[in-house]
Amino acid sequence: MSTISRRGFVKISATALGGLLVGIGNSTSVGSSGERKAPSWASKNFDQFVRIETTGEIFIGARNCEIGQGVITSLPMMIAEELDVLWSNITVEQLYYRLSADREAGVPYNRLGAQNSDGSTSVSRSWLELRQVGAVARFLLVSAASVHWSIDRKKLSTNEGRVLHPDGRSLLYSELAPLAWKMPLPDKPPRLKSASEFKIIGHPTPLSGSEDIVAGKTKFGIDHKIEGSLIAMVVRCPYFEGGIASFDATKALKITGVRDVIELPGPDPEEGLIRNLAAGIAVIADDTWSAIKGTRALAIIWRPGEWANDSTAKLERHANAVVVTDPGTAVRTDGDVGIALSNAHKRVDATYTMPLLAHCTMEPMNANFDLRENSALLIASIQDPNNAAQTIQSLTDIDPLNIEIRLPRAGGAFGRRIETDYVAEAVMIAKTVKRPIKLMWTREDDIQNDWYRPFGVHAMSASLNESGKLTGWSHRVAATSRLFREPGFEGVPDWIANLEPDAFPAGCIENFEAAFVPIKFGIPRGWWRGPTPTVTAFAIQSFIDEIAYAAKADPYEFRLKLLGSARDMAYREPGGPTYNTGRLTHVLQRAAARMGYGRKLEAGHGIGFASHFVLGGYAAHAMEVSVVDNRVLIHRCVCVADVGQVVNPLGVEAQLAGGTIDGISTALNLEITIDKGKVQQSNFHDYPVMRMHDAPDVEVETIINQHHPSGAGEIGVPTVAPALTNAIFAATGKRIRRLPIRHELHGEPRPNATQ
């Protein structure tokens, strides 16, 4: 367990009403006897984790960005558990981002800790820290009651927001709050509850704000507007690293409501993608419709740039050629795969292709930005406020201490909102027009200006001996590097987000190799839902099925045998440093049991499996499908996951079901293609996200245990595609080795396929 430092962990002070504030502080704010008055901001912005007012109100702060994954509920639940209050009696408040001065270290720090929401890490990294905040607050309240009653604090207990005296008396937390903030901090971390004592953690809890979302009352980032703002919309160069040859804004400026038209410079290839993604023309207007009309009236001639001849058809042909001819970088080598393949009784070879993908969040990018003389305010749907603050500071030279970022709920993120190119656009425009700006993106802007999931071709080879045992495995990847044009990744291997050298079955086979061949291609690449496993699980789990078929073995039993006995295996990517084969086996077994695997199926039906370790958690899917008139019918869909200690079962179930639906939608339908340097897709008509009436019911089962929690926001996606395509093979005998499925199964021509 991490320890509380009196110098660096907890900050306590009074609220503006004389109650108790508890949060994370630093050496200048912890237990400082000279700073016991309420801070000046307390009456305006609540930026601490626990606030107990003398009026009886109890507020708990949620620090991380709420992007639909439920952290605005799960993180406060941890605090509320250790505080020992009724969940129904607390109010959750979203905390802002604002750095504080550290007079000892001399550098700004965030007294709330890490506020970014990415990599399914919000719950896991907060598990001890936030529970300790709640435990310290409870300690202070009990200490106050001890002083009030002149009794040994060890004789006191708490329950549902009260401190209890052995004789039956009790005091509300709100009654003790004025005295509690004056109590000294504990010398060592207070004892945290055991799982058997939990009253909130592990119990299904409705998501905070869900009723307001259903009622249309919730304000997402796109719903905000700073007073006095003008609307800005940008027409961006469709060629990556292209530019503006010329433009004429005469007609646009004649439109009623249009205030100004300005040019935005594109990124410098030497600097990389550190600000906006593309050169563009911004139209600034009084309202959105006037801005849209202004963009349509612009006359622009674009300068294509060096990537103008790129196409995904050429990319795919090149990748298929070099994946078998270019030795690339050896990422992992166990034994001698070459000898194993040469001596194989039976050899299996297959190639799998993963397309470029857009994030396609339901709320397109947007940003509200107010640049003042010596300060700045951003209100935007983002995933990492620290990234956004650095972008603002680099473009304005505003003191980081004077940058405030408010974090409204986001309508999806999936990795897209880690990037801050849209924030940079808003800042650049506000600097020029000297007014607060509300930047709006259309759906077309969003799909055609993204940080796309990398494209990759996976060439797999395996050897089997006479008894059908897997003796060798080769996994070679030719892909667009995730690190292209993005500085700050010094020392990170170029195979990141394209290859998992330690993923199962690595370590379970004597002869194993993984290699990577990077391919140049002019398009931004970014993180996309459970980044690397969403790419690799399809190739790995599909190939295991093919090997099992070649070995004349049941694909489910083949997996179990390959996993072997429960043991920890080295894993060097996020979620590691190890994973456990026993936990991976367990989710697979539960998926099979839930599916009733082994029962007699209707004619034309098939069941497929896939399981994978994802960012610290374990997931398995089992699907029963049939194919009628080239249309995939999903009759049952089972998702089983082990994410360690579950904080909110309702939230985990929602994330797993939502991830599964997103995975099905993506596997069946979605692909970004490039022709002559331009993205071809633009909206839902040619990037067909699944509609509600096409979505199957998802049966979710969560494994109950007390392992350290991992996140659930991304874990439900990676194993969907291989489970689905393995089920299609079981039903039809047709292997799907390239996504999306609709082009392979339906016989639809792929965009740009013949060039």
What digits encode the pLDDT tens for the residues 387-445? 999 999 999 999 999 999 999 999 999 999 999 999 999 999 999 999 999 999 999 99
By the 8 A CB rule, do 722 and 541 touch?
yes
Residues 6 or more apart whose Cβ sits within 8 Å of residue 197 = none
pLDDT at 5 over 60: no
Please check whether residue 53 lies inside any domain of the structure: yes
Q: How far is CA 409 from CA 93, 218, 381, 386, 388, in A?
A: 12, 8, 6, 17, 16
Please check whether residue 753 lies inside any domain of the structure: no
Q: In whole angstroms, what is the distance from residue 114 CA to residue 119 CA?
A: 13
Domain boundary among 440, 469, 489: 440
SS3 460: strand
Q: How confident is the model at residue 109 (pLDDT cuts 50, 70, 90)?
A: confident
pLDDT, mean of residues 595-618: 97
Adjacent-strand bridge partners of 639: 621, 700
Q: Does 374 lie in the same domain as 352? A: no
pLDDT at 673 over 60: yes
Q: In whole angstroms, what is the distance from residue 731 CA to residue 624 CA?
A: 9
The residue type found at 742 is R
pLDDT, mean of residues 238-264: 98
Beta strands in 500-605 (DSSP E): 511-519, 568-570, 578-580
Residues 6 or more apart whose Cβ sits within 8 Å of residue 614 = 120, 530, 533, 537, 575, 714, 715, 717, 718, 719
Structure confidence by residue, pLDDT tens digits, 486-509:
998 888 999 999 999 999 999 999
Domain with 117, as residue range(s), is 10-215
Q: How confident is the model at residue 77 (pLDDT cuts 50, 70, 90)?
A: very high
Which residue from 316, 312, 416, 356 is spatially nearest to 740, judged by alpha carbons?
Answer: 356
Q: In whole angstroms, what is the distance from residue 307 CA to residue 660 CA?
A: 35
Structure confidence by residue, pLDDT tens digits, 718-734:
999 999 999 999 999 99
SS3 108: coil
pLDDT at 27 over 90: no
Higher pLDDT: 387 or 8? It is: 387
- CA 501 to chain CA centroid, Å, is 22
Helix/strand/coil (H/E/C) assignment for every residue in 200-235: CCCCCCCCCCHHHHHHCCCCEHHHCCCCCCEEEEEE
pLDDT on residue 528: 95
Q: Does 395 lie in the same domain as 273? A: yes
Q: How confident is the model at residue 749 (pLDDT cuts 50, 70, 90)?
A: low
| Residue 535: CA count within 13 A, CB half-sphere | 32
Question: In this structure, what token pair is assigned to residue 284?
Answer: 């600034």
Please check whether residue 412 lies inside any domain of the structure: yes
Domain boundary among 182, 215, 248: 215
Q: In whole angstroms, what is the distance from residue 509 CA to residue 577 CA?
A: 19
Please check whether residue 656 lies inside any domain of the structure: yes
Q: In whole angstroms, what is the distance from residue 611 CA to residue 631 CA?
A: 25
pLDDT on residue 745: 80
Beta strands in 249-398 (DSSP E): 258-264, 280-285, 299-303, 329-334, 346-354, 366-371, 376-379
Q: How confident is the model at residue 13 (pLDDT cuts 50, 70, 90)?
A: confident
Backbone angles phi, psi at 131, to 5 degrees: -65, -40
Question: In this structure, what token pair is assigned to residue 480?
Answer: 């667009």
Higher pLDDT: 486 or 144? It is: 144
Structure confidence by residue, pLDDT tens digits, 281-292:
999 999 999 999
Please check whether residue 751 lies inside any domain of the structure: no
pLDDT on residue 555: 98
pLDDT on residue 626: 97
Please check whether residue 232 lies inside any domain of the structure: yes
CA end-to-end span of the chain: 58
Domain boundary among 197, 215, 233: 215
pLDDT at 38 over 50: no
pLDDT at 755 over 60: no
Please check whether residue 608 lies inside any domain of the structure: yes
pLDDT, mean of residues 303-322: 97
Q: Does 706 lie in the same domain as 684? A: yes
Q: Does 149 lie in the same domain as 27? A: yes
pLDDT on residue 752: 58
Q: What is the CATH number of the domain that holds 132?
A: 3.30.365.10
Which residue from 608, 602, 621 is spatially nearest to 698, judged by alpha carbons?
Answer: 621
Question: In this structure, what token pair is assigned to residue 133?
Answer: 């905040």
Question: In this structure, what token pair is assigned to residue 222?
Answer: 């796109």
Portion of the chain with pLDDT greater than 70, in percent: 94
Please check whether residue 585 lies inside any domain of the structure: yes
By the 8 A CB rule, do 655 and 713 touch?
yes
Higher pLDDT: 488 or 737? It is: 737
Q: Does 648 lie in the same domain as 584? A: yes
Per the structure, the count of domains in the chain is: 3
Q: In whole angstroms, what is the distance from residue 24 CA to residue 87 CA?
A: 22
Q: Peptide bond before 487: cis, by omega within 30 degrees of 0?
A: no
- CA 232 to chain CA centroid, Å, is 28
Q: Does 334 lie in the same domain as 263? A: no
Q: Does 473 lie in the same domain as 502? A: yes
SS3 175: helix
| Residue 218: CA count within 13 A, CB half-sphere | 21
Q: Does 664 lie in the same domain as 542? A: yes
pLDDT on residue 533: 96
Question: In this structure, what token pair is assigned to residue 592?
Answer: 């099979």
Q: Does 696 lie in the same domain as 613? A: yes
Q: Does 709 lie in the same domain as 641? A: yes
pLDDT on residue 9: 61
The residue type found at 252 is A
Q: Does 170 lie in the same domain as 193? A: yes
Q: How confident is the model at residue 748 (pLDDT cuts 50, 70, 90)?
A: low
Q: Does 134 lie in the same domain as 269? A: no
Question: In this structure, what token pair is assigned to residue 462?
Answer: 């395996």
pLDDT on residue 31: 32
pLDDT on residue 30: 31
Structure confidence by residue, pLDDT tens digits, 537-591:
999 999 999 999 999 999 999 999 999 999 999 999 999 999 999 999 999 999 9
Alpha helices in 418-526 (DSSP H): 421-433, 443-448
Report the mean per-residue pLDDT for the chain. Answer: 93
DSSP per residue over 392-413, as a string? HHHHH---GGGEEEE-PBPS--
Lowest pLDDT segment from 161-165, 173-177, 326-330, 527-531:
527-531
Classify residue 393 by burial, with Cβ atoms within 10 Å: 0-12, 13-18, 19+. middle
pLDDT at 40 over 70: no
